[in-house]
């Protein structure tokens, strides 16, 4: 899983699913405001 932003002030952190997990998480941090997106794989 990858994520990008065209804004250099956005910090992105990714939690890849491991083993039998079917959900990963992508967090976008812009000046302290964090948006979290869960990505579910089937």
b/e burial code for range 16-42 (CB count within 10 A of at least 16 → b): eeeeeeeebebebeeeeeeeeeeeeee
* pLDDT value at residue 21: 84
Confidence at residue 5, expressed as pLDDT on a 0 to 100 scale: 97
Per-residue pLDDT tens digits of the chain, which is 42 residues long: 999 999 999 999 999 988 888 999 999 999 999 999 999 988
């Amino acid at each position: 899983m990858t994520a990008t932003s065209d804004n250099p002030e956005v910090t992105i952190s990714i939690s890849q699913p491991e083993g039998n997990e079917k959900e990963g998480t992508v967090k976008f941090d812009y000046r302290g405001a964090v948006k979290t997106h869960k990505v579910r794989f089937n």
